[in-house]
Amino acid sequence: MSVAERTPESPVTPSNPASIVTTSSIRAAIAPVLDRLRATSAQRDADRTHPFAEIRGLAEAGILRYRVPHEDGGAGATIRELAELVVDIAAADSNVAQALRPGFLVADGLATGTLSGVKHDRTLARVLAGDLFAGTRNEATGKPGQISTRLTRDSSGLRVTGEKFYSTGALHARWFSGNAVDDDGGVVTFTVPTDSEGVVLIDDFDAVGQRLTASGTTRLDGVLVDPEEVEAVSAQSGHPHGSLAHLILAATLAGIAEAAQNDAVRLVRGVTRPIKHSTAVRSADDPYVRLTVGRIAAAAFTARAQVISAAEQLDAYWAGPRDPLGVQATIAVAEAYVGAGEQALAAGELLFDVGGGTLTRREHNLDRHWRNARTVANHNPRGWKSAVVGGWLVADEPPPANGLF
């Protein structure tokens, strides 16, 4: 695959950032965008064409304002409502749901109150302006967790140099955040505009699935950093720190299962034919085709239900944060991630059983559902999550409070 470099476009700015929004108004605004994504997802995946216009449309519709509190100009959605939104976006195009994940996490800091003071006000202004966000602490070289990126001071100010990988959503983002080691050897976080001199976004993410999440390399070559955008890294602990990030992945998996269901119904109604020895004239009347569609539907329903249940437990925690609820919510998210992954993989594989060899033709690109599910499910080892759930149930061992659960 050739490597393409792209300079991001100017940020999207709605005509009236302070306008009153509701969950219903945002849902109505994004509906036609999701329709376009759904109609073009197979071809874009085959051609490796990023949905720049569609993601701009979602930004203009105030997608990141969905969970921002009413008093801050947002729609005030619960985590359950956000999870359902992510499932629906992923059902249209799972790449888009994941590309928006960093922005949803940034906006959630406004909802939970974990952002305060100048940082709160700065973040809120950016969200209301329709900006999108990207960020990662991952690097492709060195030992896991090793930080090679450096923040140094010269006569012109602070500059960051290094490379970050898994920069999800970066091609669409106005702001990029990461971590670095400063001149004193301390670990800090930084944020820079993606159109800054020295920022190069490289579209080199070449996984088997989720190819259009803009998750490639971000190269930082002496990028000037505003001192107000630098913070010392403080140890974050407790539950459910980091759980929303994993719930969004689980919701993406649930959306993939639903996309497989939608394709199954569409194909049976208008494309596939029954096998020669079937007693049915139409595929829709074949009992085994019906059985397969029913199994796919059950997988999609189960995945969504698991995600919603975990989201409700996160909502319960934030309604009155305390340790028991935090652990329960963290466990629920881990279970949803594992469960939704298994259901999405099953739905993607079963999809081929609603028809014959014709369904394997490249023109349908049906394998993208399984490939996408496989890629999302690999973001965190399911074995670790299942073992942690088991440890909690049989030995009262709480999950690690490291942001990975």
**Collapsed DSSP state (helix, strand, coil) of residue 200:** strand
Q: Where are the domains of the chain?
A: 4-135, 150-232, 243-395
Write out the two tokens for 302.
């189960």
Query: For 4-135, which CATH class?
Result: mainly alpha
Which CATH number is correct for 243-395, 1.20.140.10, 3.40.50.150, 3.40.640.10, 3.30.43.10?
1.20.140.10
Sequence-distant (6+) residues with CB within 8 A of 344 are 253, 254, 256, 257, 260, 299, 303, 369, 373, 376, 377
Residue 162 contacts residue 150 (beta carbons within 8 Å): yes
**Which residues make beta-bridge pairs with 176?**
134, 192
pLDDT in tens, the chain (405 residues): 334 444 444 333 443 445 689 999 999 999 999 999 999 999 999 999 999 999 999 999 999 999 999 999 999 999 999 999 999 999 999 999 999 999 999 999 999 999 999 999 999 999 999 999 999 999 988 788 889 999 999 999 999 999 999 999 999 999 999 999 999 999 999 999 999 999 999 999 999 999 999 999 999 999 999 999 999 987 667 899 899 999 999 999 999 999 999 999 999 999 888 888 888 888 888 999 999 999 999 999 999 999 999 999 999 999 988 889 999 999 999 999 999 999 999 999 999 999 988 899 999 999 999 999 999 999 988 999 999 999 999 999 999 988 889
Q: What CATH architecture applies to the domain 150-232? A: Beta Barrel (2.40)
